[in-house]
Amino acid sequence: MQSVVELYASVAYRLLDFVVVLSAVFIAIGIKKRGARIFFNTRYKLEGKDEHDYVSWSFTLLVFALFNYIDTAITASIISLDTDYLLRRKLFYLSKVFFFLLLYLSLYALHAMRSCSFSATARIAYYLGLIPITLYMFQLISRGYYDVTLISSVYFKLMISIYASLACVLYTYYPIKSMYKMWQNRSERINAKT
Per-residue pLDDT at 109 exceeds 90: yes
Q: Tell me phi and psi for residue 166, to 5 degrees.
A: -65, -35
The Cα–Cα gap between 188 and 4 comes to 46
**Chain segment 19-76, per-residue pLDDT in tens:** 888 888 988 988 888 888 888 877 788 888 888 888 899 999 989 888 888 988 998 9
Q: How many CB atoms lie within 10 A of CB 98?
A: 14
The Cα–Cα gap between 77 and 80 comes to 5
- For the chain, the domain total comes to 1
The percent of residues in the chain predicted with pLDDT above 90, rounded, is 16
In 3D, which of 68, 124, 74, 116 has the Cα closest to residue 95? 74
Q: What is the pLDDT of residue 185?
A: 84
**Chain segment 130-141, per-residue pLDDT in tens:** 988 998 898 889
Give the pTM: 0.83
Q: What is the pLDDT of residue 194?
A: 66
Contact 177, 146 (CB under 8 A): no
In 3D, which of 66, 56, 67, 49 has the Cα closest to residue 27? 56
| Domain encompassing residue 9 | 2-193
